[in-house]
Chain A
């Protein structure tokens, strides 16, 4: 009995899923806009790349906050609920500007041609990462344990669009 209680405690405390950073770390402004690069060519030789990994990976709270912000900042105005409309869909495998978390971060912060606004300097960095977490969760790139069983706007099941695409190949 005590063994199981210990296991439970370790499982609960060792898990980042429910962690809530109510007071986010000050923004790493050096990161804005240079989280990742599109070209391998660099004048003057390669320079050290600032590391940019999603600080909220696997965090259920960040994903749900991202979902809220997705509506508040009217991302759905162009991307609908991830399926695309005026803007491209956000549930896909081929990303025009890269599908890594750092690419998504850059796309939100810098904006992209043909309509994606530049959000850098407008929304705090931690909220950008929360949006990235949510977009990743739409693409099954977040741990199952952290993703909502039932997203309010989307019916998610193991057979998402991506796994269906893979099955049809």
Chain B
């Protein structure tokens, strides 16, 4: 029950930061304007149709002679040709408008991406998993590679190229404030370009139904000034901070001795598995379980003790951990700034 209350509360708070109507980049602005154009034009046509449909209700029939249907079962030839002209004209204008809208839509889609200067872009690899996001900042120098999960940091004013794929089923990468949807397809690489023009925190969401916890497959994009971004990158490259006291020491022992270590990695320890999110800098992330809950000690305890309660169907295993070991484990994980 508490989890439900918490998630309802956080969800309403998050909605403000996930909106296609509040663009933070050229792509999203073009998409928003296109949507406004469609809404305006089609709204106008809708109003015209309503008005035209209301005119006959005034009861005055000009031009078209209506004959009693009971006698002939057919309108006269003159009426029929008039009706035919009207329907033909309406069909033709509908086709013209639809083709026009397709042209506008496609050209906006092309130009929105084409205006970005790709020469100094930042490449980020995103892999969809049931139900979280693996994020990697590739680099030719292996020691400069950054691996994280569910929280993407990008510099403002610099084009970002997403190279996306999936480990299991089709997912879709979608941050409404920054770009349109881009599917992540197993054994294929899809690319997406966007640029954030102002700093902010924007929520993203998987936009292709991918199983039980599709709705709880969120991610956060943190757009920040380049110097802050570089600072973040430098910090992410460091190994995890070693435990500073006895409790955290015990927490690390619990982590390395339990099933956690079979799926998660913490750089600087013997944990190196890549099946679950990398936890090297877990404490610095704002949410747990892919945007499902705010990252704090209480939520983390609930998540570790009974993941299936928070996110039914998640691949996070229900690991039997002794009650007295949970607190040290949480203290340790939250210390991984």
Shortest A75–chain B CB gap in Å is 12
Contact with B along A67-86 (1 / 0, CB 8 A): 01000110000000000000
Structural contact, B258 and A122, CB atoms closer than 8 A: yes
- Is B208 part of the binding interface, using a Cβ–Cβ cutoff of 8 Å? no
Chain B interface residue number, banded:
10 to 19
A126 to B308 alpha-carbon distance, docked (Å): 14
Q: Which residues of B contact A7 (CB under 8 A)?
A: none
> What's the least CB distance linking A18 to chain B, in Å?
13
A124 to B259, CA, bound (A): 8
Q: Are B259 and A23 in contact (CB under 8 A)?
A: no
Per the bound structure, the CA–CA distance linking A124 and B309 in Å amounts to: 17
Closest Cβ neighbor of A65 among chain B residues: B315
B317 touches A124 (CB 8 A): yes
The reply to whether A123 and B306 form a contact with Cβ atoms under 8 Å apart is no
Whether B262 contacts A23 by the Cβ 8 Å rule is no
Q: Is A115 an interface residue (CB 8 A)?
A: no
242-264 of chain B: CB within 8 A of chain A: 257-259, 262-263
Restricting to A65-111, which residues have a CB under 8 Å from any CB of B? Answer: 68, 72-73
Q: A20, A68, A121, A126: which contacts B318 (Cβ < 8 A)? A: A126
B202 to chain A: closest CB distance in Å? 31
B312 is an interface residue with CB less than 8 A from chain A: yes
B258 and A26 contact, CB distance less than 8 A: no
B257: which A residues are within 8 A, CB to CB?
A: 121
Q: For chain B residues 172-215, which have a beta carbon within 8 Å of chain A?
A: none
Which of A22, A29, A122 makes the CB contact (< 8 A) with B259? Answer: A122
Q: Which residues of the partner chain A approach B263 to less than 8 Å between Cβ atoms?
A: 72
Q: Is A24 an interface residue (CB 8 A)?
A: yes
Residue of B nearest to A73 (CB): B262
CB contacts (< 8 Å) of A29 on chain B: these are 320
Q: Does A43 belong to the interface (CB within 8 Å)?
A: no
Query: Across the two chains, which residue of chain B brings its CB closest to A29?
Result: B320
B317 and A22 within 8 A (CB): no
Contacts of A127 in B (CB 8 A): 317
Known contacts A72-B275, A73-B262, A123-B259; decide if A23 and B306 are in contact (CB<8 Å).
yes
Determine whether B319 belongs to the interface, using a CB cutoff of 8 Å to chain A.
yes
Residues in B with CB closer than 8 Å to A122 are 258-259, 262
Q: Within A1-38, which residues are at the interface with B (CB < 8 Å)?
A: 20, 22-24, 26-27, 29
Q: How far is the CA of A38 from the CA of B308 in the complex (A)?
A: 36
Report B265 CB to chain A, min CB distance, Å: 13
In the assembled complex, the Cα of A121 lies from the Cα of B318 at a distance in Å of 13
Residues of B within 8 A of A124 (CB): 259, 317-320
Q: Given known contacts A27-B320, A124-B318, A124-B319, is B312 in contact with A22 (CB within 8 Å)?
A: yes
Q: Pick the residue among A27, A68, A72 that contacts B262 (CB under 8 A).
A: A72
Tell me if B313 counts as interface (CB < 8 A to partner A): yes
- Whether B318 and A23, one on each chain, are in contact in the complex, defined by CB atoms closer than 8 angstroms, is yes
Contact of B308 among A22, A121, A125 (CB under 8 A): A22
With A68-B315, A72-B263, A72-B275 known to touch, is A23 a contact of B258 (CB < 8 Å)?
no
**Residue of B whose beta carbon sits closest to that of A72:** B275
Q: How far is the CA of A27 from the CA of B319 in the complex (A)?
A: 10
Residue contacts A-B, CB under 8 angstroms, 27 given: A20-B313, A22-B308, A23-B306, A23-B308, A23-B309, A23-B312, A23-B318, A24-B318, A29-B320, A68-B315, A72-B262, A72-B263, A72-B275, A73-B262, A121-B257, A122-B258, A122-B262, A123-B259, A123-B317, A124-B259, A124-B317, A124-B318, A124-B319, A124-B320, A125-B320, A126-B318, A127-B317
Q: A20-B313, A23-B309 are in contact. List 20 more A-B contacts (CB 8 A).
A: A22-B308, A22-B312, A22-B313, A23-B312, A23-B318, A27-B320, A29-B320, A68-B315, A72-B263, A72-B275, A73-B262, A122-B258, A122-B259, A123-B259, A123-B262, A124-B319, A124-B320, A125-B320, A126-B318, A127-B317
